[in-house]
């Protein structure tokens, strides 16, 4: 059911399909760690097309392909290619489609991945399109929660920080609501979750402005970075950023089993001291990006059913 499938939006995946990806990702964990060798993707070529800089996502796709014995071609700096000479995205895609078996695309404009999927014969995986979708990130976020709690439904999940511009939280909020999580939103007033995202959620989320209101009974804290550029006044930034960051003091008030996630890179929204508490999951979360992407690649290429 996956062979040839495009993964453009998290909405393209039904719940059973997500579960299938998670099941395969679990089997991939030892391979992702290098403890076990399997060459499921030997002879396959991935085109990794990054029209916008990215480190984590690009490298984790590369790692995923390498670990499974496949090859990667592509670029991470479009200005060094013919793309900057005014070639259409459609043409670039048609060309790389001819050179590869699967395409991964990161692009600054919204809808670029859907366009790529229209023109490519091979499956296309969206690795982020502007403020739009970033489904593999959403999947690894949900996978991290499922690995921890065994389920998503009923968990109190607080998305915090910059909910307005932070792209990972948009598709995550929608997906979590459809998985019946109890979603809470915590952000400064100027960085609230956009209304159109809330409209797309299955259930109306609860909105807060103070960390104190949710600290004691949240199961999952999903922390995002508040960028300095969003604030014209640096002292205002310091004040706001301070009240949406997590310190060791906060951790003491959390539930024993509460976990803290972050899409990374983090700056100072999570105090480094928190890294050594049993609540920190952000590095594990980042690692899960590899087995999740391995699972997706193996499934859309049809080598695993």
Partner 1 sequence: MTDQVLKVQKIKNGIVIDHIPCGMALKVLKILGIEGDIGSTVTLAMHVKSKNGWKDVVKIEDRYLDERELDKIALIAPTATVNIVKDYKVVTKHRVKVPDVVKGIVKCMNPRCITNQNEPIEPEFKVVSKDKIIIKCRYCGREMDSEDIVENIL
Footprint on this chain of partner 1 (rule: CB under 8 A): 9, 88-90, 107-112, 114-115, 118, 129-133, 196
Minimum CB separation of residue 28 from partner 1 in Å reads 30
**Residue whose CB is less far from partner 1, 170 or 250:** 170
Minimum CB separation of residue 60 from partner 1 in Å reads 24
Secondary element (H or E) of residue 74: strand 71-75
The C-alpha atoms of residue 152 and residue 283 are separated, in whole angstroms, by 20
**Residue whose CB is less far from partner 1, 92 or 285:** 92
Sheet of 220-223, strand order = 206-208, 182-186, 156-160, 220-223, 259-261
Do residues 103 and 116 make contact, with C-beta atoms less than 8 angstroms apart? yes
**Residue whose CB is less far from partner 1, 128 or 132:** 132
The C-alpha atoms of residue 193 and residue 27 are separated, in whole angstroms, by 35
Minimum CB separation of residue 130 from partner 1 in Å reads 5
Minimum CB separation of residue 134 from partner 1 in Å reads 13
The C-alpha atoms of residue 303 and residue 295 are separated, in whole angstroms, by 10
Minimum CB separation of residue 80 from partner 1 in Å reads 20
**Residue whose CB is less far from partner 1, 229 or 256:** 229
**Residue whose CB is less far from partner 1, 8 or 246:** 8
**Residue whose CB is less far from partner 1, 196 or 252:** 196
Q: What Cα–Cα distance (Å) separates residue 159 from each residue in 49, 93, 188, 263?
A: 30, 35, 12, 11
Give Rg (Cα) of the chain.
19
SS3 state at 207: strand
DSSP 11: G
Minimum CB separation of residue 114 from partner 1 in Å reads 5
Sheet of 45-50, strand order = 71-75, 45-50, 102-107, 124-129
């Amino acid at each position: 059911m996956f062979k040839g499938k495009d993964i453009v939006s998290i909405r393209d995946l039904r719940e059973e399909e997500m579960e299938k990806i998670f099941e395969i990702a679990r089997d991939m964990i030892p391979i992702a760690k290098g403890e076990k060798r399997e060459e499921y993707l030997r002879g396959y070529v991935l085109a990794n097309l990054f029209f916008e800089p990215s480190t984590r996502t690009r490298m984790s796709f590369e790692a995923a392909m390498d670990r499974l014995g496949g090859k990667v071609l592509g670029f991470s700096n479009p200005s060094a290619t013919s793309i900057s000479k005014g070639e259409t995205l459609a043409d670039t895609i048609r060309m790389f489609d001819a050179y590869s078996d699967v395409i991964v695309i990161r692009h600054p404009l919204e809808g670029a991945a859907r366009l790529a999927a229209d023109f490519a014969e091979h499956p296309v995986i969206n690795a982020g399109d502007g403020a739009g979708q970033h489904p593999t990130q959403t999947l690894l976020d949900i996978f991290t929660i499922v690995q921890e709690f065994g389920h998503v439904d009923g968990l109190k999940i607080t998305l915090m920080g910059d909910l307005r511009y932070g792209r990972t939280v948009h598709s995550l909020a929608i997906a979590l609501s459809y998985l019946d999580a109890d979603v809470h939103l915590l952000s400064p007033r100027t960085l609230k979750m956009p209304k159109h995202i809330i409209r797309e959620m299955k259930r109306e989320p609860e909105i807060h402005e103070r960390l104190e209101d949710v600290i004691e009974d949240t199961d999952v804290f999903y922390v995002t970075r508040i960028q300095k550029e969003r604030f014209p006044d640096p002292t205002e930034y310091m004040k706001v950023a301070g009240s949406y960051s997590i310190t060791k003091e906060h951790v003491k008030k959390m539930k024993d089993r509460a976990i803290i996630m972050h899409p990374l890179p983090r700056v100072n929204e999570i105090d480094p001291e928190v890294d050594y508490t049993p609540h920190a999951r952000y590095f594990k979360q980042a690692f899960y990006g590899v087995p999740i992407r391995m699972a997706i690649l193996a499934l859309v290429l049809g080598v695993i059913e």
